[in-house]
Structure 1
Amino acid sequence: MDITAKARFIRMSPRKVRLAVDVIRGLGVAEAETRLSVMKQLSAEPVKKLLKSAVANAEHNFKLSSEALYVKTITADGGPVAKRWTPKAFGRATPIRHRTTHISLTLSEREVKEEVADKKTTKKKTSSAKKSAAKQVSTAAVSKDEGSKQ
């Protein structure tokens, strides 16, 4: 089940918000929240607020536990740009662009990893069994060759 949350018209540049967004993509909710609280960037604050909102949506609306959730997708896209002008020398003016950001976040449930662990151990056992069988065959062939030489 996917849970989505959006924060729109955030008064920060999307380029700066993407620094915080890229850090938490694919992480569990607890780990993502910890990393965002440690970050120096001011853009981490609205991302953390959005993450908490998405977790609250999951717990209240879908009765999901926050331990099982992870950040499936998160994007920071550009919103509308407010344009202002600043005076410069010789009667010129240069534009100032006040950029805004739309952040969209999707949380999803992690699947149980116990089955994956079982598959890995069986693969290791079968590959080691094949290797030991190959060694036995090769040692038997060597012993036959030594017997025929004598």
Structure 2
Amino acid sequence: MAVKSIGRYVRVSPRKARLVIDMIRGRYVQEALDILRDSPKAVAKTIEKLVRVGIANAENTQDVSDVDTLYIKEAYVDQGPTMKRFRPRAMGRATRIRKRTSHITVILDEKP
């Protein structure tokens, strides 16, 4: 009875997002929300929204009576498409700027 929430094309590099995801994987939902609320990382706000979406999905589609029994079963970050931009440099050259995106997936489940 797993519930999934996915954030696609999030404008943060996967490497930075994985730092935050690793802190909440396997924890109860309320504990994860507390960690995300206190995290100084900017992507923590986006991940917190994803966890809240998962909670709402569980309440509305799976008829979960007690939200406190939910925990983060899986959480992972995949790399999305990279936007390529160019910045002018000295002597007529240009360097590539890579603006990376992420696909963030959070799967919630009930602990017995």
TM-score (norm 2): 0.97
Paired residue for 1:46? 46
Please state if 1:37 is matched with 2:37.
Answer: yes
Aligned amino acid, residue 82 of structure 1: M
Paired residue for 2:22? 22
Deviation at 1:66, TM superposition (A): 1.2
Paired residue for 2:86? 85
Paired residue for 1:106? 107
Q: Distance in 2 between matches of 1:66 and 1:20?
A: 22
Q: Which has the higher strand share?
A: 2
Q: Distance in 1 between matches of 2:49 and 2:86?
A: 32
Q: Distance in 1 between matches of 2:94 and 2:49?
A: 37
Paired residue for 1:68? 69
1:70 match: secondary structure? strand
Which one has the largest radius of gyration? 1
Q: Percent identity?
A: 41
TM-score (norm 1): 0.73
> RMSD between aligned alpha carbons?
0.6
Q: Distance in 1 between matches of 2:9 and 2:21?
A: 16
Deviation at 1:63, TM superposition (A): 1.2
1:84 match: secondary structure? strand
Deviation at 1:91, TM superposition (A): 1.1
2:40 match: secondary structure? coil
Q: Distance in 2 between matches of 1:66 and 1:38?
A: 21
Q: Distance in 1 between matches of 2:39 and 2:11?
A: 19
For structure 2, list consecutive stretches of 5 or more residues without a partner in the other structure. none
Provide the aligned length of Structure 1 versus Structure 2: 111
Paired residue for 1:144? none
Where relative contact order (Cα < 8 A, 6+ residues apart) is larger, the structure is 2
Deviation at 1:52, TM superposition (A): 0.2
For structure 1, list consecutive stretches of 5 or more residues without a partner in the other structure. 112-150
Q: Distance in 2 between matches of 1:103 and 1:11?
A: 11
